[in-house]
A = this chain, B = another copy of it.
Amino acid sequence: MLGKTYERQDCSIAGALEAVGERWTLLIVRDAFYGVRRFNDFQAHLDIPKAVLSDRLNGLVEDGILARVPDPAHAGRHLYELTDSGRELWPVIHSLLVWGGKHRRANSRVLRHAQCGTRLSESGRCEVCGVAPGPEDLISERRRGYQPKRDDPVSQVLRAPHRMLEPIET
């Protein structure tokens, strides 16, 4: 996206879009909510040129949305994890998920409240418990009968129900 900024826009939406409005950025954040943490896993799941992925990850780290932490299992490598500020992007991700599922293409996954198993309403609330669970209290699972189109290692792991934010192992 040419000109990443909206300098002449005096508005917090423009401010948010400067951080997450570039191509691919919100899909990277989505994957981070799914538990993706390694460069190669993002790359395999997103089919994104490595140069762009590298640029976006650096930008997200600079903006405090992801943190680059040393990988305890592999010296010299990093993991990318959502910061608190990044986790607060959940309502953005969820509202796009709901709108896209309704108006563009059906969701491949459904979200349930981990404590009671209820499917989330469109507004992101669990109507049984009367709360709006954070992503850490949600289980994402494949919609029944859904035929997955992708076959990379991350997609394979995500075929099983999975608690959001829990790191995935490929």
Listed in ascending order, the chain A residues whose CB lies under 8 Å from chain B are 1-3, 6, 8-19, 21-23, 26-27, 30, 46-47, 64, 85, 88-89, 91-108, 123, 132, 148-150, 155
Contacts and interface: CB of A to CB of B under 8 A. Distances in A.
Contact of A9 (B27, B89, B91, B106): B27
Nearest to A26: B17
A8 B97 contact: no
A107 B11 CA distance: 6
Contacts of A85: 103
A21 B18 contact: no
Contacts of A30: 11, 13
A12 B97 contact: yes
Contacts of A102: 88
Nearest to A123: B132
B16 A96 contact: yes
A150 B30 CA distance: 34
